[in-house]
């Protein structure tokens, strides 16, 4: 006599499958923040490279990088970012490109209560700009960083100068030669001298 075999999984088999799925899901959830942090870091780095291309176009026409132009109080936050207005004034950068000046992990909050707020602050601009940089500088100083990290060089948003960097583990920095380098920091958000050459970063690191 033939017996009918029941198709499908047994309870034990189902439990094993569910357990495996749970383990894989847990691994995915655990690694997701790490993966996304790397994606944001790369996106931020690409923003800085795009800004370097814009700086090159401007410097070829003016033999200089943007410097302070009147009115100096156009942007309420002040600092180096107001020096970027010539990029828009001469048309090498459009307001639609303002996202290039924002780190994807930025925590900068605009002063929305100020009635004079404009496009720079509405877009939560977070990058810092070294307005003292000059084209072809043999010292290869930093031009931009994803956050203000030294009041003497990248002066942007004074309240953010010594805050935890956007990426928590470091800062993307654009050098005068077009390279974007990653400067690590410790858990407190303090930049580490040991990861970069002292002669290059004496003015950047405190």
> Low-confidence residues of the chain, pLDDT below 70?
1-9, 28, 30, 68-82, 107-124, 148-165, 185-206
What is the reported pTM? Answer: 0.67
Domain ranges in the chain are: 13-201
Question: What does DSSP assign to residue 23?
Answer: H
Question: What does DSSP assign to residue 188?
Answer: T
Cα–Cα distance, 162 to 154 (Å, whole number)? 12
Q: What is the pLDDT of residue 193?
A: 43
SS (H, E, C) 92-105: CCCHHHHHHHCCCC
Structure-token pair, residue 34: 């790490």
Q: What is the pLDDT of residue 168?
A: 73
* 142 φψ region: left (φ > 0), alpha (ψ -120 to 50), beta (else): beta
The candidate with the shortest Cα–Cα distance to 127, out of 199, 194, 49, 184, is 49
| Contact between residue 172 and residue 180 where contact means Cβ atoms under 8 Å apart | yes
Q: What is the pLDDT of residue 155?
A: 39
Cα–Cα distance, 163 to 12 (Å, whole number)? 53
């Amino acid at each position: 006599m033939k017996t009918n075999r029941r198709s499908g999984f047994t309870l034990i088999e189902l439990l094993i499958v569910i357990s495996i799925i749970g383990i894989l899901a847990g691994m995915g959830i655990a690694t997701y923040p790490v993966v996304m942090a790397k994606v944001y870091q790369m996106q931020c780095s690409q923003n800085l490279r795009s800004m370097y291309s814009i700086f090159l176009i401007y410097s070829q026409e003016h033999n200089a990088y943007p410097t302070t132009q009147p009115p100096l109080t156009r942007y309420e936050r002040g600092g180096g970012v107001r020096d970027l207005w010539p990029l828009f004034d001469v048309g090498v950068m459009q307001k639609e490109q303002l996202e290039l000046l924002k780190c994807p992990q930025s925590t900068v909050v605009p002063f929305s209560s100020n009635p004079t707020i404009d496009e720079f602050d509405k877009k939560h601009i977070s990058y810092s700009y070294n307005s003292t940089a000059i084209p072809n500088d043999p010292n290869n100083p930093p031009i931009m960083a994803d956050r203000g990290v030294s009041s003497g060089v990248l002066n942007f948003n004074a309240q953010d100068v010594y805050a935890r960097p956007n990426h928590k583990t470091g800062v993307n920095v654009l050098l005068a030669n077009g390279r974007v380098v990653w400067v690590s920091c410790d858990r407190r958000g303090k930049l580490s001298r040991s990861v970069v050459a002292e002669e290059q970063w004496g003015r950047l690191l405190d």
